[in-house]
Structure 1
């Protein structure tokens, strides 16, 4: 009977059951309906990225009626505010570029959906929708109708993880059972024990071995067939093609041997190959899971939050020490690290980091506020509802909204090698078979199979991710927390380093502060301290700690102008703090010292001047960096300390003062246009734009919560002098990758030499292949740990 493929899902269409619509064949009404939905909404491009990418939609039959329960639906949501809700759904069918395209265009299928973003590696789609126009149930049913049914488990969502895929464990168990029994039944053949292995039993045991090989061949190895088929169908070459071909060739050859009585075949080698390959795959999966676990739960951001203790004192505590019931003080521009209840009268919160929406949301006392929002305006107090979720902050930090550059170059190198490796491998296998077939048919099949097995490029593909993963872990232990592995490569390519001054190369831990002018009264000092309480600028924090304790007062109309100053109304008095020009004192505008000027009711009072304390080891760090990098200082302060900095810093270091935040960004952009790979090191507040523009943006964190998702890394201030070490380590990481590439290619060359010459059996090849993976992973781990210890001036810390 004639058959052809369904245009939507690719399954075979029996002629009498064929449904023809719009000149295309479909296997069922479900596939035809999905095609109509896409066509009616202008989404026919879904079929242009991949051939037959879809899945047949299944009937749900009330399966998701539980989502009508609002309490259950709320537990599945990551974020919920008036007009905006966010949910992440796990969708097992995500497998190709067409899936990504259609799932990121869901807003064209449903008006209630704002945006949708796919995490391909985790098979998740993060959907932002308007709960006033649609519901979570409607979205789930819509996904089911187009063949992308989500997997929903309340237990898994509560724990923050999807169900573990145990299919690999089952396949490995079946493969081991088949392999062990076939080896046992093959012993008489190995030792040629004719007195026991009688002719009348030989055939029976051979066919029993054949039967035992079928579960391993058909079930355990099925993943390789599916992967190879999809790769060929999409016109690509992946590493599973030669593996699948080798298994099939070995099975066919062994079956022919038994049918025609040539021998027992290679079923022992076949099942051994499948077993050892699955062991290697399980090893990879467990190692990746380990790296992912460390990334999500141990890479704590070195930020702190201000806690109000039982004595009503404000103390900075590590963000991951916050517990339910704690009371927190959140200042202007600070990120809210936990879900909680607003205690203060009211506030404006910017949730653009979470939702992408720029409009702030008004919250009143008693309202629930969500982690990830940034406070706008005067400080607030909140009560914590749950302890901080570092995995949530990591997710926020890794949001694609903040991807500013391509970091895919490293992966593309690996993909390119695998793409050329597979056809070259097939050519060698066919050539070796063609050479031996005219000399020894048995050797020819052995050569063909051994070549396909021994030269698997798995180890080649693993070297880069495992090296980068281990370097991420090492840097995290030493308090440099990078957004992703791609940042390491960008660090290695850096040729220019730009530093902010205040809060970056200076420390807020110690400084001399003096007042010039008419000394404010005790009441006025109280006004100043209460206004400073809401600001996160390094000078504000230092002055706040310097001033004497004062009773809390309500600040109305709090406003902070980035790079200029702050103002607010207390007890009917207008207080302004900041630059001389901001408070209206033109006479003091040209002062040469770093200062915070004060005006109360437009009456200039004077200024607090700061004798900046530079971080210990700064001169040695700059001397070390100047040997390899072009160094710059970008500061928003005046140039009063130019002479002092010129004495401390290497000759030729460019110093730029009086730079507004937008000028810092433009300066970075200009240097990039000149061909430089620029790393910006700032405090994450006034430098947010420059950090985002730079090739690598590193935010220095001391004791305030000014984390910016736009940065690429967060460095604990105590490790500032380790910058040169981290840069050297990133270069050694790339060197390790190149060495492991060479080692893997050398292994393949030696293995192929033995395989082509007929001196390598398929069984030995199957054992060697996973061992090569273990060897490469061990090499990159040992090499990266060695460099971490060798380069680190603080010995033994890696």
Structure 2
């Protein structure tokens, strides 16, 4: 038992180990975790990574403060109808096994519904039911399996995160050591024989050895750790050849000075690590800059209706909403803040947060949580917390709405990196064998030079830098994408489908004519109040022309997606929508979009819309039609078919009277043979947006946030859509050119390395320079491509 290691955590078992199930454990805690995992079907944890666990601590009394509900209220992000959502910091997350088991917590306890790990931040976001379960129980469960969370109210209230400066420290150590080792190497460089041989040769050599130790075991440790984890997981990552080169140089140099065979290659070794870290520092700073600029959270184009003290309504961007503001939440709007309900009857769908679609009902004075979607009539709420952009982006990235839209180019990058590493190791081995036979003294130089010069770092950088910078450029022009993978999918689109109302048309310039019996004042007020609760573009247009009428409180509101809306107050009702919805047979001669109105089940008349199409729609379809198939799906009648045929490309297929489920099925049918882009307004098109390969919601400065979409396009930038698609295709070409550039560099470098003409220190300088050149090339190329957008700005 003394020589065995723990099956769970890998620590030495010592003399007090535990034997269970033919396996050794260092303590009863690790044995218990093993039992928990195996009895709940989580034994795969050990198959992913052996000895991946951490020893659990005894923490039962430590978290008694979580029995205090006031403290829990401060920690949880969401707490409604027996469901809570919490984000916890887990410092012990370190490998793929950790991710796997933490995202399968629902198999350890049925109350846990969803758990998502953010590996870089070492956090987990858990959604759980509070019936017979609590935050304290969750924390104890995590602690019992070795993933004790770090909880601090002070940390939760801090806005600024600690900056990780470890790379700067390592770069400083490597640079200091490199300079001193070069200094100690000068006597040999200048062949100062008497001084070197007679007095200080041994001292200088051992000083160089001493300076190399912190470089190898501190500054360069990340490369060894990454290579070890990769090999342990049976993966060849790009750090394997680097770690092998550093280790080879260090061992060979140490042998040289121990047996007095020479001064070794400590100058090359320290130089290699220094230049590697310098390249890594440059890459990190550049990518951090790009990430900051392209951060869609800063540009989220969602607005909210705020009530002024005078009672007037104004549209403001959500990050301008402050604590104490009064805001309106219409039907199907997302609640962007924690708030107190002031007026209205809340019927909240929290499925965006919890995945549970059952509506929650709330009355005046009760608290509403951010992330819920109002299903009923308009609400007036008072803001309790300022808007959290990051919270809304969590909704956008919720696994409930995720779909397996695999990025081809990302997998291609990984595949090339893996094959490249295998090729490099093969070439290094063959070249070393050759030189061992013909000139053994050259073998080590050739081996290390090949490993260093042919590192596939540049290949791995091409896609993230290209797509990251393009994401930033798109964001500057008000086209906000969920992630970089959307650009890759957008580049493969061969079919584009558009919704009509609210997408091709604008509600800013509609001409509306009323035909029918005149509405009474009470009916008009009820109509306006009902329209006020709806977010549909036609409802917003009607609402705007009825501004002079009074507002009343609705007793009941219902919106039937794709059909119409209904409001009730003081035993009177009003319906607004399609002819069939209000009980009227549509006129076959009707050629315009019309919204019918009935009061107390009596059809009163209709509002006829002379739709105004967005400027440049014909040009958009003309440009797109040159390269792809086009289509229009509309829930309206086909009265404007002839007008659309005049405006749009001849190739455009049109389908009218389409219900939301019809649109979804239409997209699904196209996907059997095509890669489909769906462009809609995010309301009736949510299903089609989610089903499509790329779904884009057009926003007209209203809160129509849809987690189903992959991107949001500001309506004023609709003209740029063909350019955005072309830029996506050009981005892929830039990635391919980067691959070619990196390949050329490696072929030339390998020739000099294999033939023994390249010294390791020169290779160490050239390798990070190749990575930097890729970063510069992709950044300059994408910035150049992005300049084309400025030339066609509206």
Q: Normalised by the size of structure 2, how large is the TM-score?
A: 0.96
Distance 1:472 1:108, change over 3 A: same
What SS class does the counterpart of residue 335 from structure 1 fall into? coil
Deviations along 1:6-51, one digit per CA (max 9) or x if unpaired, are: 322234555x454321011223333222111212323223223333
Partner of 1:670: 669
Deviation for aligned residue 1:298:
5.1
How far apart, in 2, do the equivalents of 1:171 and 1:61 lie?
Answer: 39
How far apart, in 2, do the equivalents of 1:530 and 1:49 lie?
Answer: 58
Partner of 1:740: 738
Partner of 1:9: 9
What SS class does the counterpart of residue 676 from structure 1 fall into? coil
Distance 1:233 1:178, change over 3 A: same
* Mapping of residues 154-169 of structure 1, within 5 Å: 154-159=153-158, 163-169=162-168
Deviation for aligned residue 1:442:
3.0
Partner of 1:788: 786
Distance 1:290 1:65, change over 3 A: farther
Kept in 2: contact 1:414–1:461 (CA 8 A): yes
Partner of 2:580: 581
Deviations along 1:101-152, one digit per CA (max 9) or x if unpaired, are: 2112212223432221223444332101233433323322321221223344
How far apart, in 2, do the equivalents of 1:287 and 1:151 lie?
Answer: 31
Deviation for aligned residue 1:285:
3.0
Partner of 1:491: 490
How far apart, in 2, do the equivalents of 1:97 and 1:469 lie?
Answer: 25
* Mapping of residues 224-239 of structure 1, within 5 Å: 224-239=223-238
Deviation for aligned residue 1:204:
1.6
Partner of 1:321: 320
Kept in 1: contact 2:5–2:12 (CA 8 A): yes
What SS class does the counterpart of residue 614 from structure 2 fall into? coil
Aligned equivalent of 2:757, options 755, 759, 769:
759
What SS class does the counterpart of residue 613 from structure 1 fall into? strand
Partner of 2:170: 171
Partner of 2:386: 387
How far apart, in 1, do the equivalents of 2:108 and 2:588 lie?
Answer: 58
Kept in 1: contact 2:7–2:23 (CA 8 A): yes
Deviation for aligned residue 1:590:
6.7
What SS class does the counterpart of residue 507 from structure 1 fall into? strand
How far apart, in 1, do the equivalents of 2:64 and 2:265 lie?
Answer: 53
Higher mean alpha-carbon deviation, 96-105 vs 345-354, is at: 96-105
Deviation for aligned residue 1:322:
1.6
What SS class does the counterpart of residue 86 from structure 1 fall into? strand
Kept in 1: contact 2:5–2:24 (CA 8 A): yes
Deviations along 1:553-586, one digit per CA (max 9) or x if unpaired, are: 1111111111111112123211111111111122
How far apart, in 1, do the equivalents of 2:586 and 2:634 lie?
Answer: 22
Partner of 1:658: 657
Partner of 2:103: 104
Partner of 1:94: 93
Deviations along 1:739-780, one digit per CA (max 9) or x if unpaired, are: 001111111111111111111111111111211111101100
How far apart, in 2, do the equivalents of 1:428 and 1:567 lie?
Answer: 74
Kept in 2: contact 1:156–1:163 (CA 8 A): no
CA RMSD of aligned residues (A): 2.1
Distance 1:410 1:13, change over 3 A: farther
* Mapping of residues 353-392 of structure 1, within 5 Å: 353-392=352-391
Distance 1:406 1:50, change over 3 A: farther
What SS class does the counterpart of residue 705 from structure 2 fall into? coil
1:724 aligns with 2:726: no
Partner of 2:680: 682
How far apart, in 1, do the equivalents of 2:725 and 2:214 lie?
Answer: 51
Partner of 1:73: 72
What SS class does the counterpart of residue 118 from structure 1 fall into? strand
1:201 aligns with 2:200: yes
The runs of 5 or more residues in structure 2 that have no matched partner are none
What SS class does the counterpart of residue 691 from structure 1 fall into? helix
1:286 aligns with 2:288: no
How far apart, in 1, do the equivalents of 2:11 and 2:727 lie?
Answer: 51
Distance 1:216 1:72, change over 3 A: farther
Count how many residue pairs are aligned between Structure 1 and Structure 2. 794
Deviation for aligned residue 1:718:
0.3
The runs of 5 or more residues in structure 1 that have no matched partner are none
Partner of 2:249: 250
Partner of 1:633: 632
1:707 aligns with 2:692: no
Distance 1:195 1:74, change over 3 A: farther
Kept in 2: contact 1:297–1:390 (CA 8 A): no
Higher mean alpha-carbon deviation, 158-167 vs 703-712, is at: 158-167
Deviation for aligned residue 1:677:
0.8
How far apart, in 2, do the equivalents of 1:659 and 1:575 lie?
Answer: 24
How far apart, in 2, do the equivalents of 1:623 and 1:296 lie?
Answer: 32
Higher mean alpha-carbon deviation, 709-718 vs 337-346, is at: 337-346
